[in-house]
Amino acid sequence: MQYFRIFSILCSFIVFFVIIDFIRRGLLKEKYSLLWLASAVSILVLSIKERLLDKTAALLGVGYPPTLLFMIAFIFVILIMLHFSVVISILHEKNKILAQEMTLLKNAVKQAGIDPAGGNPAGGNPAGGNPAGGAARGL
């Protein structure tokens, strides 16, 4: 039991500091880190306060208290997955709307007689209006 307690405390600290480091480096936004931090803190508290873990396990009817830590971690992982599923669904809908608006804008630009790629479809210089030709186009 003592080794499991040390292991869970160590893992909680590692998860906590990795999430803080990800936030600091800009790899993870604060609003997406709340569930990760809450899970690390709750597992840390239950790992340090062994009596609290035992009482909570007895209250919930869990026979072996360390399995309660796994249950809590599993619940947090499910909540994180649900949260990211909602975020992905919202982003998918926004992406679809942006693609539709972009198509409408491209069609409006084409109807106005302007080539969206930068050329002039109505005639004129094929080098995009540069009298020197296409060599200086990338400048």
pLDDT digit of tens for each residue in the chain (139 aa)? 688 888 889 989 999 999 999 999 999 888 888 989 998 999 899 888 889 988 999 999 999 888 888 898 899 899 999 999 999 999 999 999 999 999 999 999 999 888 767 655 555 555 555 555 545 544 4
Say how far apart CA 36 and CA 107 lie, in whole Å. 45
pLDDT of residue 138: 47
- Tell whether the torsion through CA atoms of 56, 62, 63 and 69 is positive or negative: negative
pLDDT of residue 14: 93
Say how far apart CA 129 and CA 139 lie, in whole Å. 13
Helix axis angle, 2-25 to 30-48, nearest 10°: 160
pLDDT of residue 25: 93
